[in-house]
């Protein structure tokens, strides 16, 4: 029999006086899958409305993805616009919050709001409840949990994606995903090839160059748009918020003019300006690279730009332009898969690329009460949009109300 919570036994149904043969469905909590910023935000927003929310986190602590990021990482969005609902980030964190401070903030957020979090529980499948009263979650340890609604907030950085390059399995050199990278210290005096010119790849390359690596190369398939994190004290996030609802072609034109003024042409160093517009690329899923040192590192030759990786041959890396490299280590900053197929793929809620079709407070008619947050990467700032999504989702669930378990007032 299914449990209504992650920690207690089944809740018995009670018979209706008017129709003894028709049992009433018990009120059930909202289950939030994922204890990162998105999941914690939704849990707080629901709690603030008196709705019981239970966060299910597969690791042993909240903020698992943030704990695994490299030490150098700082938010590319300002502290003021990155706080989650109900608790501001401390001013002592500075304008660009560090990875370590972000982890501290998430821990404090969960404690401050007294969120109900169950760790060490991984949800493997979400199904419609047998009685039609919400959702059944199948989780680790044989758990079967019944919820009135489900919010999936496992986010972008769920499962590391490593391309199936020819010869990868027989490569004799060191090959690791960027998720395993922490600091440059182990690579001092070594030859390192970083694959992928997104924000993670660019920042790891800079970290290696500044941290004592003998040689750093950055393999690039499609040159990225590069923007300044701030110009004359004005964060690029402010501009992104101001223009995000303008026509794409207009933002492309404006961005092209700004970039020509603020970012030097790196064509001679192997990074030509992209032909496609910045916002057009964003709408296709390619976020601009924030310059936290990559421009200077490339111009000074501390980071060499090379062609994309095509495969491996023994201890040699084969490049798309016919070149060959024999680095000591290859760090693949090749992104992540959302990993939703096994959990909700059977429900018809994912598109052809494995992305949720409904977002925020929207649900599909054939999957009412199933919500997703944190699966887009807007130029206005992920944390800012997570906060907005949380409020909208909580309002929608609260207004629907049917079958939702309420928090009992304390005596």
Residue 392 contacts residue 406 (beta carbons within 8 Å): no
Confidence band for 8, pLDDT divided at 50, 70 and 90: very low
Mean predicted confidence (pLDDT) in 39-49: 97
Polymer length of the chain: 411
274 vs 197: CA distance, rounded Å: 13
Q: What is the per-residue pLDDT for 13? A: 36
- Average pLDDT of 37-60? 97
Q: Which residues pair with 220 in a beta bridge?
A: 307
- Please give the pLDDT value at position 130: 93
Is residue 26 pLDDT above 70, yes or no?
Answer: no
Distances from the Cα of 231 to the Cαs of 79, 235, 263, 379, in angstroms?
17, 6, 10, 16
Percentage above 70 pLDDT, the chain: 93
pLDDT band with cut points at 50, 70 and 90 for residue 2: low
Query: What is the rounded distance in angstroms from the CA atom of residue 407 to the CA atom of residue 375?
Result: 29
**Which pLDDT band holds residue 6 (cuts at 50, 70, 90)?**
low
> pLDDT at position 271, please?
96
SS (H, E, C) the chain: CCECCCCCCCCCCEECCCCCCCEECCCECEEEECCCHHHHHHHHHHHHCCECEEEEECCCCCCHHHHHCCCCCECCCCHHHCCECCECCCHHHCCCCEHHHHHHHHHHHHHHCCCEEEECCCEEEEEECCCCCCEEEEEHHHEEEEECEEEECCCCCCEECCCCCCCHHHCCCEEEEHHHCCCCHHHCCCEEEEECCCHHHHHHHHHHHHCCCCEEEEEECCCCCEEECEECCEEHHHHHHHHCCCCHHHHHHHHHHHHHHHCCCEHHHCECCCCCCHHHHHHCCCCCEEECCHHHHHHCCCCEEEECEEEEECCEEEECCCCEECCCEEEECCCEECCCHHHHHHHCCECCCCCECCCECCCECCECCEEECCCCCCCCCHHHHHHHHHHHHHHHHHHHCCCECECCCCC
What does the pLDDT average to over 374-402?
91
pLDDT-derived band at 294 (thresholds 50, 70, 90) equals very high
Q: Pairing state of beta strands 123-128 and 116-119?
A: unpaired
Top pLDDT among 155 and 326 is at 326
CA distances in angstroms from 108 to 61, 79, 387, listed in the order given: 12, 16, 16
Backbone φ and ψ of 187, nearest 5°: -110, 10
Q: Looking at the predicted structure, is the pLDDT value of residue 3 above 80? A: no
Model confidence band, residue 276 (pLDDT cutoffs 50, 70, 90): very high
pLDDT reported for residue 286:
87
Q: pTM of this prediction?
A: 0.88
Q: How far apart, in whole angstroms, are the C-alpha atoms of residue 26 and residue 43?
A: 20
What is the third-level CATH fold of 24-158+338-400? FAD/NAD(P)-binding domain (3.50.50)
Q: How confident is the model at residue 25 (pLDDT cuts 50, 70, 90)?
A: low
Integer angstrom CA distances of residue 332 from 71, 181, 189, 196? 17, 10, 19, 7
Q: Nearest CA to 269 among 312, 205, 208?
A: 205
CATH class held by domain 161-332: alpha beta
pLDDT (tens digit per residue) in 334-360: 999 889 999 999 999 999 989 999 999
Q: Give me the pLDDT at residue 192, please.
A: 98
Task: Pick the range with the lowest mean pLDDT from 21-35, 92-106, 211-225, 372-386.
Answer: 21-35
- Using one digit for the tens of pLDDT, what is the confidence trace for 249-272? 999 999 999 999 999 999 999 999
pLDDT-based confidence at residue 4 (cuts at 50, 70, 90): low
Q: In the predicted model, what is the mean pLDDT of the chain?
A: 91
Token code pair at residue 131: 């009685």
Q: What is the dihedral of CA 258, 264, 269, 274, to 10 degrees?
A: 10
- Could you check whether 24-158+338-400 and 161-332 share the same CATH topology? yes
- The Cα 219–Cα 196 span in angstroms is 6
**Range 52-70 average pLDDT:** 95
**pLDDT attached to residue 217:** 98
57-92 per-residue burial string, b: 16 or more CB within 10 A, e: under 16 = bbbeebbbbbebbbebbbbbbbbebbbbbbbebeee
* The pLDDT of residue 379: 84
Question: What residues does each domain of the chain span?
Answer: 24-158+338-400, 161-332
Mean pLDDT calculated for residue range 357-372? 95
Residue 21, pLDDT > 60, answer no
């Amino acid at each position: 029999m299914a449990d209504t919570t992650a920690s207690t036994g089944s809740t018995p149904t009670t018979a209706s006086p008017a129709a003894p043969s028709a049992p009433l469905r018990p009120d059930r909590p909202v289950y939030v899958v994922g204890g990162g910023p998105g999941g914690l935000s939704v849990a707080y927003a629901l709690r603030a409305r008196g709705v019981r929310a239970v966060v299910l986190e597969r690791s042993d602590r909240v903020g698992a993805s943030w704990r695994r990021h490299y030490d150098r990482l700082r938010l590319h969005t300002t502290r003021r616009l990155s706080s989650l609902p109900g608790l501001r980030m401390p001013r002592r964190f500075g304008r660009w919050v560090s990875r370590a401070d972000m982890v501290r903030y998430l821990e404090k957020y969960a404690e401050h709001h007294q969120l109900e979090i169950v760790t060490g529980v991984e949800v493997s499948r979400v199904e419609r409840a047998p009685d039609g009263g919400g959702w059944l979650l199948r989780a680790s340890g044989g758990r079967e949990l019944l919820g009135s609604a489900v919010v999936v907030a496992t986010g972008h950085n769920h499962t590391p994606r490593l391309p199936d390059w020819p010869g990868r399995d027989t490569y004799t050199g060191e090959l690791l995903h960027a998720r395993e990278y922490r600091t440059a210290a182990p690579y001092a005096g070594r030859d390192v090839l970083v694959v992928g010119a997104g924000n993670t790849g660019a920042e790891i390359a800079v970290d290696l160059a500044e941290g004592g690596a003998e040689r750093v190369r950055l393999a690039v398939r499609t040159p990225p748009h590069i923007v300044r994190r701030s110009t004359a004290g004005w964060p690029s996030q402010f501009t992104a918020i101001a223009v995000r609802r303008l026509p794409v072609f207009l933002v492309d034109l404006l961005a092209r003019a700004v970039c020509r003024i603020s970012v030097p042409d790196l064509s001679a160093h192997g990074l030509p300006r992209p032909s496609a517009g910045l916002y057009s690329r964003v709408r296709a899923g390619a976020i601009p690279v924030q310059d936290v040192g990559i421009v200077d590192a490339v111009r000074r030759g501390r980071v060499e730009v090379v062609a994309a990786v095509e495969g491996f041959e023994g201890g040699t890396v084969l490049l798309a332009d016919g070149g060959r490299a024999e680095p000591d280590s290859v760090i693949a900053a090749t992104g992540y898969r959302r990993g939703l197929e096994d959990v909700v793929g059977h429900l018809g809620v994912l598109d052809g690329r494995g992305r949720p079709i409904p977002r925020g407070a929207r649900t599909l008619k054939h999957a009412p009460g199933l919500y997703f947050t944190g699966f887009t990467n807007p130029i206005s700032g992920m944390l800012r949009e997570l906060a907005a999504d949380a409020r909208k989702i909580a309002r929608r669930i609260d207004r629907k109300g049917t079958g939702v378990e309420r928090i009992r007032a304390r005596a």
